[in-house]
Structure 1
Amino acid sequence: MSRAQTRPSPLHIFLAFGSGGLLTLMVDFNGLVAFHGGAMYSSWVAHGTGTIAAIAFLALMRLRTAPGETAPKPAAPLWAYLGGVSGAITVMLTSITVNSALALSGTLALGLAGQVLFSLAADRWGLFGLPQRIPKIRDFGAVALIFAGSLIIIFANG
């Protein structure tokens, strides 16, 4: 599958929206585990359960694939495996901040702002094999609105 620019399908939009809901649940659950056992413990629990789920999923996929159907795939670049490191750090940081005055909504709002800023940088410079795309003024307007919304969520205790 190429990363060429095309219009997203309604299914992809729904899946991305659903992943945001799952991310919210994950951060909340990890924060609850961190409250009782610490951020490092929360990260171990999250990644341990994720590993077990991935093994089960891979076992099911192996049963489903008929022999001889697998086409050779190119090897992933070594830096692609760093996703696990950033995932572990993300779990620990969100587990700490969700149990602070930021709470769940402030943690996710600022996390979204960080994701958008980093994704604009990744698009701009073509990081990680992405096609280069110059951010437009509307992209920076979206970032400003996300930051403004984050500030309202965090400081408007109403």
Structure 2
Amino acid sequence: MTIEAARNPHPIYFIGAFATGGLLTFMVHLNGELARYANPLFSSWTAHGTGMVAAVILLLALYRRRAPTAGKTARAPLWAYLGGVSGAATVILTSTAVNSPLGLSGTLALGLAGQVAFSLAADNWGLFGLPKRRPDMRDIAALGLVVTGGALIILFGRGGA
């Protein structure tokens, strides 16, 4: 990808990212409701169990026999398989937090701040095979705005303490 293409992405990427945020909010709400009636661990098991069933159905519906490729195919590094562990922990923690005084918006605001902070750290140190990229002042300002927005939601929102 060229630098120009990275600076001018197609609008469908923005729409997809925005839609993903809405789906994430809906998922956190549903998992929180399930945890409220059962517990966060059950919520995580249910979310991942239904996700597995959906994935199997999609794989069966979309599966086409491919011709074997010549040569050796690249294998994913072992750490790439830890996504399921972090996904399970995310469901358990958000299911707990959403049922606290933070509520849905506070949980998601702090979650977004954590995502931005961790992604800046991953860029800075080149974690997980990412190219190293030093955060600039705009990145730090963006993180500050996200944290400030989260604090406003939590401290002064309708559900604020």
How far 1:78 moved relative to its partner? 0.5
Q: How does 1:1-158 map to 2 (within 5 A)?
A: 6-7=6-7, 8-62=9-63, 65=64, 67-68=66-67, 73-158=73-158
Unaligned runs of 5+ in 2: none
> Identity of aligned pairs, percent?
55
Q: Secondary structure in 1 aligned to 2:135?
A: coil
Distance 2:96 2:40 in 1: 6
Counterpart of 2:48, as a letter, is: H
How far 1:157 moved relative to its partner? 3.7
Instruction: String of CA shifts for 1:68-108, please: whole Å, max 9, x gaps.
Output: 27676411111000000000000000000000000000000
How far 1:17 moved relative to its partner? 1.2
Counterpart of 1:74, as a letter, is: A
Q: Secondary structure in 2 aligned to 1:76?
A: coil
Query: Normalising by the residue count of structure 2, what TM-score does the alignment of the two structures yield?
Result: 0.89
How far 1:53 moved relative to its partner? 0.6
Distance 2:157 2:135 in 1: 34
- Alignment RMSD: 1.8
Distance change >3 Å, CA 141–CA 57, structure 1 → 2? same
Distance change >3 Å, CA 35–CA 70, structure 1 → 2? farther
Aligned residues: 154
Q: Secondary structure in 1 aligned to 2:76?
A: coil
Counterpart of 1:39, as a letter, is: P
Counterpart of 1:76, as a letter, is: A
Unaligned runs of 5+ in 1: none
Distance 1:129 1:61 in 2: 30
